[in-house]
Structure 1
Amino acid sequence: MTCPTRTACPYCGVGCGVLATPDGKGGATVAGDPDHPANFGRLCSKGSALGETLALDDRLLFPQIAGRRASWDEAIALTAATFREAIDAHGPDSVAFYVSGQLLTEDYYVANKLMKGFIGSGNIDTNSRLCMASAVAGHRRAFGTDTVPTCYEDLEQADLVVLTGSNLAWCHPVLYQRIAAAKAARPGMKVVTIDPRRTATSDLADLHLGVAPGSDAALFNFLLHRIQSQGAIDAAYVLAHVDGLPAAMAEARRWPVERAAEVTGLAPRDLEAFAALWIRREKGVTLWSQGLNQSSSGADKANAIINCHLATGRIGRPGMGPFSITGQPNAMGGREVGGLANMLAAHLDLENPAHRAAVQGFWGSPAMAERPGLKAVDLFEACAEGRIKALWIMSTNPAVSMPEADRVRDAIRATPFVAVSEVVRGTDTGDLADVLLPAAAWGEKTGTVTNSERRITRQRAFLPAPGEALADWDQLARVGRAMGFEGFDFASPAEVFREHAALSAMAGRMGRDFDLSGLEGISDADYDALAPVQWPVTEAGSRARFFADGKFHTETGRARMLPVAPRAPESRLSAAFPLRLNTGRVRDHWHTMTRTAKTPRLSRHIAEPFAEIHPADADAAGISPADLVHVIAPEGRVTVRALVTDRTPRGAIFVPMHWTSQWASAGRVDAAVRANVDPVSGQPELKGAAARIERADFAWQGFAVSAARPEVVEADYWALARAKDGWRAELAGLAVPADWAGFARRLFGLGAEAGEMAALEDPARGMARIAVIEDGRVLGALFAGPGPGPVEVARAHVAAALGEPAMPDLLAGRPGADRPDPGATVCACYEVGVNAITAAIAAQGLADVAAVGAALGAGTNCGSCRPELQALLDKARADGSMAA
């Protein structure tokens, strides 16, 4: 029997431990690691489905140059020579790397060493700039280093958890479940959520504060004002360890409850309730994520939170502290090695000459970067202006994820030479590459990642790398050697890690916080067996928390409170663009879906891009639920499905960021987001673009399933998703096809002679239903009808028919009485649909979420669907459909 491999999940910054057991067929079964201290066996829906994402059908298997297959020697030689030529002709700042929080630390380390220490430029930035740069800036301004002072146990030990700018239930589900379990065990524990939207996370809250977008700093300035007026400042701690209190308080006193209420849009009683909860519960954690960071004033918001904890001395002790949660699996590891353009490895300062000299001496490097490089937005602007002559993009998709994504796509296209290291072929960014370099994926590569609580975990390979795919560190080292640099003769990730740990030990001797000196001599065997451990790791052991002792890493050794003058998001709202566009994640997908879109069950919950729209805004625009709508901004536009809900505030819309040109005709929402950045952190404002909505009037809409991926989609709108044994598609067109049968065959990728066709058309009603059957099994089916709304068909039922014996009632589009339609998926872990849940509630008198879980399994794994289960229970109770 094959033993499971202990590894780490490749998704969010929680850093869950995973047990992966190869199945001998190229796949694996995946379970949570009960011994990993981040998750204790829990996995979210995405983590639970990891074993379903390992297929090689879309993998990039060989290097390519200008679209043709090439050898590694040729691809490396071309990349190295082109970078060298650009440097010789235009200087080191004419080249750049754009990397990713999904790289392993060893990959990140070699990339940073090559660019900053040998090419001699600071032009290496990362997609973590889009996620966590403002938190980094806040930490460095307050603490002197980018130090997260808390740990996950603090969330369970706290008497108050404040979640601000964080939809934890969907974006970090395992942490959400840890808090939910702690709250159930200690009912006196309180939870506050701060978010303009009411999200799934809000359902756990004792108090939800629906703040006006961008007003978080005003809220925490009010809190700091109340901390002083209620006598809650820890004068002894501040006197001994903190600078800046008078200036910070002078600004905070400008935020009494009346002014805070006006700016935040909150009722004074709610503001006072929040302050009372915070002040009266010493053991409190304030957790924040992208909702705060993705802002033109994100760094100030972080410091407004940290100010409150420093003023009260509530930091570094069990159950208390400010806690920034990272978005990506190794955003923290990238920060440790200086992966951001304005940072140096091992938490040393790029602007500090002594630090630069120390790192240069350690590396024996010929040309050390002397100043920060271009941050992400500026980097692609430099590409557009022709200042970047050679660009290497690794493990990320900026043509989708960067703000003003159309402009970024054009900038990449205009760059004279672009290399892209990627796992899959056919991405928006990879399609622009001169050289494509096949990278090893999760399950095939080995190294380390660091999660949000500074815990280093080994990510281990349990499958061979397919084709000629190589680890990113190996690709970088080969290019470094080909450029003539010494110091890149790494033979394994363990060797890279040892050098990384040795550099951190030097930094530790210089008084920095990031110190792995206890691991600098680690053997290959001990590296392979390395158990999860929080840094710092010295001979004295590891450490869970920082700063209770008042020792900080500033020049004075004291923390810094900053006066924060709150700034609203740059207002570009107008009569033409009256709505604020917010972007973010959904529960079951990850970034640009190169992994999550490979498994059907992760698309069943949400299968196409959408816009959350408040009912009043929908009415004003003449939009009905499930209409297709155009979201239009000065920078670009998308076409998505309308989700009309009062969970999003009036005057704002929310569109998820996952859909790419491979999955939707016009779903790249960041094309509609302006590249407005925080002046301190360089992080873009991804939550505050100006936009308007218009109903998209299509002559017809349709739903199709196909055994083959549709390659020719003759529709003006489409959104693809995986289905069992094939694909599913939402479709719409401006003109009704003259030949539905031919349209369907081209959509299914079938010739005129393939299979037998069953058709039902009613031109008077604008309706067509077509199926193609071969050897008695369904190859494809199309259901089309007049707009404006989606065609009525039981989607789960039709998708399940693919590859199965054709049913007599297939063209009816609905199951017979003997085959109930489960409905849209609510629980992705156990594939439980809304119809099955509502039927069980009614028939069995299920009274609470636990009863639903006992009956159907829904909500008993990751728990992300529990708020939706509760909503279904509440609706059944209100409708009177719950059995007595």
Structure 2
Amino acid sequence: MASGAPTRTTCPYCGVGCGVVATPQEDGSVAIRGDENHPANLGRLCSKGAALGETLSLDDRLLYPEIEGHRTGWDKALDLVARRFMETMAEYGPEAVAIYGSGQLLTEDYYVANKLMKGFIGAANIDTNSRLCMASSVAGHIRAFGSDTVPGTYEDLEEADLVVLVGSNMTWCHPVLFQRLLAARERRGTRIVVIDPRRTVTAEAADLHLAIAPNSDVALFAGLLDHLDRMGFRDAEYVERHTSGLDDALAAAQDCGFPRALEATRLPAEKLREFYTLWSRSERVVTAYSQGVNQSVVGTDKVNAIINCHLFTGRIGRPGMGPFSLTGQPNAMGGREVGGLANMLTAHLDINSASHRELVRSFWNSPGLATRPGLKAVDLFRAVGEGRIKAIWIMGTNPADSLPDADAIQKALRACPFVVVSDVTRTDTTRHAHVLLPAAAWAEKSGTVTNSERRISRQRSFLKAPGEARPDWRIICDVAARMGFAEAFDFQSPAEIFREHAALSGVANGGSRDFDIAACAELTGSAYDTLAPFQWPRRQGAPLDNTTTRFFAEGGFYTPDQRGRFVPTPVTEQAVSPDFPLILNTGRIRDQWHTMTRTAKTPRLMSHYAESFCEIHPEDAEDSGIEPATLARIVSPQGTAVVRALVTERQRKGSIFVPMHWTDQQTAQGRIGAAVLPAVDPVSGQPGLKSSGARIEPFDAAWYGFAVLRNRPATIPADYWALARAEGGWRIELAGAEPVEDWAAYAADLIGSGEGLETLSYSDQDQASFRLATFSGDALLGALFVSPQPVAVSRTWAVEHLTASDIRGIERLRLLSGRPGADQADPGPIVCACFSVGANQIAAAVENGAASVDAVGDALRAGTNCGSCRVEIRRLIDAAALKKAV
């Protein structure tokens, strides 16, 4: 195969929206690098983006349509979907049908899905997993601005005097953007404040960390508004000319004040004063917030409490100042632009407005547009469980794991009369599908996405879709045609859909709405193919260049009176139950994405954390009888999960943190979604994924195990297991509640047995500790290590044996010992995933004189790509210095 031409496309992970250059190679692989011309990343990529070429394998791809688990043809599958949807509508009405989409969909996919559901099925039951990450931000924007408008740009982070990161572990979740921020601090002295109950790697890099009590953000910013008022920081002219509602908002803020903010946040008084003083006296302030704000039952009030402070000081819409919502997904904003949420219409039009509904109905020539908002994600699946929704189509997302009360979601899907799933791989959701439709994946799709700063970029295909996989927009249009709507969905390319989307955004607009890309309404196919990234709005006749756009510096809000609205944000208390005294917080980790359908395919990204874990404060661990590195059971009123205990003072006492990513595909009992409560924000409908009541208790393990295997086992005989890809095979963490009588037989079942294989084993007298390695010739087939306590094995070093081709003699004995000899290097736990650099390698570099993070980078390259491991490198340097001093 000849090398292909480089293709400029966009990363499919977070909302930074980095440009990527993908180049197919002669050997079938794909080389990935950052696009130095893309304004979001200027050539940088994070560990996930850099590893994209390693996630394109077909070993777990859905390649053909299936009905009830059996392969079928597209015509039969699509006919069935259309027929069952129409039958359901005829018998129960249009609101018995629903679509649940994803921020992984491209804007063109989203547009036709929304058009089908709201415009032609005639109900608004289309929601998306963006409800889980951005809905509170949307609701807060609409309450304050009259529209879902992000006022600023990424450049503001680089031009600010002070950047406040609220509920954002930007180092891990938006790493390229964080590197831009750190570069700005180096260049112009930008101060960074992090507001987060956890001492994350971002908090460690900050100038000031406010470890507030969970869910006390409203009190913090209400207290700030009161402080700004008392200290005379009101921009009187801006407030008078461009805002309304201040008196009520100030009354709520005064009711809070410094004393109640101090009580709610549980911060030291001097730290709270320091923050208020710093915010007040820094003219150029950006307050950037993410899931710690949004994923809350008071998330919308948190957003408005932040916006209130910016409106009060007029610090909005000018370079280096404003509230900034950091989007979680690559196209959450694109989905919002086309009305992909149940309470929105396309083009930022209001579904509750009769004139807006008529505008859309007329443009689409719709037979019956939805007349009211549909069900939001949590309520939508509750309706599935209650039997009110009889047919649901799930596109590109995995709600069986990602939604709260995940066991109830699976129960609802099992009971639903008709479930359609369009996806790329098999997930915990696809197992419930009556019809399974193979969708094109990132490398095979063409369309557009919009990032956190309103920048629209092209995603371009560079690989042919495998098997019979098809783009989502094509699948949706084909079903629509079979339902009798062929004329309205007669699109032959994504470019045609984009043109219609752009045209609708400009209808009856004239600047009355924020979202307007009418300048793209007549793009030719070739112009669409070569479209460069641009920020909206781009009204009719405007150039599609790299002009920076901001909103609201001179007012011009999208409320009826064109004034920005202050919103009162009363402070509420979060009580904990004696039975569930801890606050369970969930979120992302550095090298993983959502439910790992893509990132778990590459060993490099599984090397940092190969299993799920629970961060817990040492005092909480002691109170609960949890020992470091043992297994712990998380228990909530909804369900349970079993994960590894990571005891650390970086976690706030009274709270625990568990990553959101692990599913039944990678672990037994590790789905944390099963333990998350389904409580939602009453305004936005966004679930409070970061504040479930829970308790933690020991998992009573009779034995612990660790294994490296050449081949993935068909079954894993253990009460707990966590499976991860490794170079050359697999690695597995294991544990059992009951003793195993015959470890040799157990190992044979796990690793494999047969003629020509050699086995070397060791066990102590009562077989409580056992080690076995099986070889095929001079290559390792698998090794198992068992102990009554968490297994002390150099895991990275053991994994390296899977790719070794000449393991003999003493090397086999060393492998069985689980430790390298004095003459062998043990990389240690991986710290830098970009270049696979371990903690021991970094420690050795420090011992040899690398006294700074940059010096370690010069020696090992660690920390020189995305930079998301630089704080961890600094920890190792500081630990070495402390050890030397002692």
TM-score range, shorter chain: over 0.9
SS in 1 for 2:288: strand
Correspondence for 2:666: 663
State the shift of 1:511 in Å.
Answer: 1.4
SS in 1 for 2:484: coil
Range moving further from structure 2, 199-208 or 732-741: 732-741
5 Å-filtered alignment, 1:177-576, equals 177-187=179-189, 189-425=190-426, 427-485=427-485, 486-506=487-507, 508-509=509-510, 511-538=512-539, 539-541=541-543, 543-569=548-574, 571=575, 573-576=576-579
Contact 2:774/2:780 (8 A) holds in 1: yes
Contact 2:256/2:571 (8 A) holds in 1: no
**Aligned match of 1:617 in 606, 615, 620?**
620
One-letter identity of the residue aligned with 2:586: T
One-letter identity of the residue aligned with 2:729: G
Q: Call closer, same or farther: CA 1:361–1:754 in 2, change over 3 Å.
A: farther
Range moving further from structure 2, 818-827 or 736-745: 736-745
Correspondence for 1:151: 153
Q: Call closer, same or farther: CA 1:207–1:406 in 2, change over 3 Å.
A: same
**Aligned match of 2:63 in 58, 61, 64?**
61
Q: Distance in 1 between matches of 2:48 and 2:415?
A: 36
Q: Distance in 2 between matches of 1:574 and 1:237?
A: 45
Q: Distance in 2 between matches of 1:201 and 1:515?
A: 35
Deviations 1:713-739 (CA, angstroms, capped at 9, x unpaired): 000100010000111000011223222
Correspondence for 1:686: 689
Correspondence for 1:697: 700
SS in 1 for 2:881: helix
**Aligned match of 1:867 in 867, 871, 885?**
871
Correspondence for 1:89: 91
**Aligned match of 2:770 in 768, 771, 777?**
768
SS in 2 for 1:880: helix
Q: Distance in 2 between matches of 1:360 and 1:775?
A: 70
Deviations 1:479-530 (CA, angstroms, capped at 9, x unpaired): 0001011311111111110111111111533711111111100000000000
Contact 2:11/2:17 (8 A) holds in 1: yes
2:819 aligned with 1:817: no
Aligned length, in residue pairs:
874
Contact 1:26/1:54 (8 A) holds in 2: no
Q: Distance in 1 between matches of 2:6 and 2:149?
A: 34
Q: Distance in 1 between matches of 2:765 and 2:354?
A: 76
Range moving further from structure 2, 808-817 or 261-270: 808-817
Contact 1:129/1:375 (8 A) holds in 2: yes
Contact 1:537/1:543 (8 A) holds in 2: no
Q: Call closer, same or farther: CA 1:62–1:739 in 2, change over 3 Å.
A: same
One-letter identity of the residue aligned with 1:367: G
One-letter identity of the residue aligned with 1:456: I
Q: Distance in 1 between matches of 2:194 and 2:743?
A: 50
**Aligned match of 2:72 in 70, 73, 98?**
70
2:798 aligned with 1:798: yes
SS in 2 for 1:253: helix
State the shift of 1:112 in Å.
Answer: 0.2
Correspondence for 2:608: 605
One-letter identity of the residue aligned with 2:799: A
Q: Distance in 1 between matches of 2:94 and 2:627?
A: 55
Q: Distance in 1 between matches of 2:573 and 2:510?
A: 42
SS in 1 for 2:579: coil
Correspondence for 1:710: 713
SS in 2 for 1:391: strand
**Aligned match of 1:854 in 844, 858, 881?**
858
- Unaligned stretches of 5+ in structure 2? none
Q: Distance in 1 between matches of 2:689 and 2:875?
A: 29
State the shift of 1:325 in Å.
Answer: 0.7
Correspondence for 1:731: 734
SS in 2 for 1:737: coil
**Aligned match of 2:749 in 746, 750, 763?**
746
State the shift of 1:670 in Å.
Answer: 1.2
Correspondence for 1:877: 881
One-letter identity of the residue aligned with 2:881: R
SS in 2 for 1:309: helix
SS in 2 for 1:359: helix
Q: Distance in 1 between matches of 2:600 and 2:781?
A: 21
SS in 2 for 1:142: helix
State the shift of 1:414 in Å.
Answer: 0.7
Q: Call closer, same or farther: CA 1:477–1:263 in 2, change over 3 Å.
A: same
Correspondence for 2:648: 645
Contact 1:348/1:507 (8 A) holds in 2: no
Q: Call closer, same or farther: CA 1:803–1:267 in 2, change over 3 Å.
A: closer
Q: Percent identity?
A: 59
State the shift of 1:801 in Å.
Answer: 0.7
State the shift of 1:751 in Å.
Answer: 4.4
Q: Distance in 2 between matches of 1:135 and 1:507?
A: 26
One-letter identity of the residue aligned with 2:688: E
SS in 1 for 2:664: coil
SS in 1 for 2:859: helix
Q: Distance in 1 between matches of 2:287 and 2:815?
A: 53
Q: Distance in 2 between matches of 1:540 and 1:444?
A: 31
Q: Distance in 1 between matches of 2:571 and 2:99?
A: 34
Contact 2:119/2:367 (8 A) holds in 1: yes
Deviations 1:92-144 (CA, angstroms, capped at 9, x unpaired): 00000000001000000000000000000000000000000000000000111
Deviations 1:675-702 (CA, angstroms, capped at 9, x unpaired): 0000000000111111111111211111
Q: Call closer, same or farther: CA 1:331–1:430 in 2, change over 3 Å.
A: same
SS in 2 for 1:184: helix
SS in 2 for 1:138: helix
State the shift of 1:769 in Å.
Answer: 1.2
SS in 1 for 2:479: helix
Contact 1:701/1:786 (8 A) holds in 2: yes
Range moving further from structure 2, 872-881 or 94-103: 872-881
Q: Distance in 2 between matches of 1:30 and 1:42?
A: 11
State the shift of 1:877 in Å.
Answer: 1.1
Range moving further from structure 2, 732-741 or 155-164: 732-741
One-letter identity of the residue aligned with 1:111: A
State the shift of 1:742 in Å.
Answer: 2.3
SS in 1 for 2:144: helix
5 Å-filtered alignment, 1:113-124, equals 113-124=115-126
SS in 2 for 1:704: strand
Q: Distance in 1 between matches of 2:358 and 2:259?
A: 52
One-letter identity of the residue aligned with 1:223: L
- Unaligned stretches of 5+ in structure 1? none
TM-score (norm 2): 0.97
Range moving further from structure 2, 772-781 or 108-117: 772-781
Q: Distance in 2 between matches of 1:735 and 1:66?
A: 37
5 Å-filtered alignment, 1:151-170, equals 151-170=153-172
One-letter identity of the residue aligned with 1:299: T
Q: Distance in 2 between matches of 1:797 and 1:253?
A: 59
Deviations 1:32-67 (CA, angstroms, capped at 9, x unpaired): 111110000111111111111011000000001101
Q: Distance in 1 between matches of 2:434 and 2:479?
A: 16
Q: Distance in 2 between matches of 1:561 and 1:244?
A: 5
5 Å-filtered alignment, 1:37-48, equals 37-48=39-50
Q: Distance in 2 between matches of 1:476 and 1:510?
A: 32
State the shift of 1:745 in Å.
Answer: 2.4
Q: Distance in 2 between matches of 1:99 and 1:881?
A: 56
One-letter identity of the residue aligned with 1:876: A
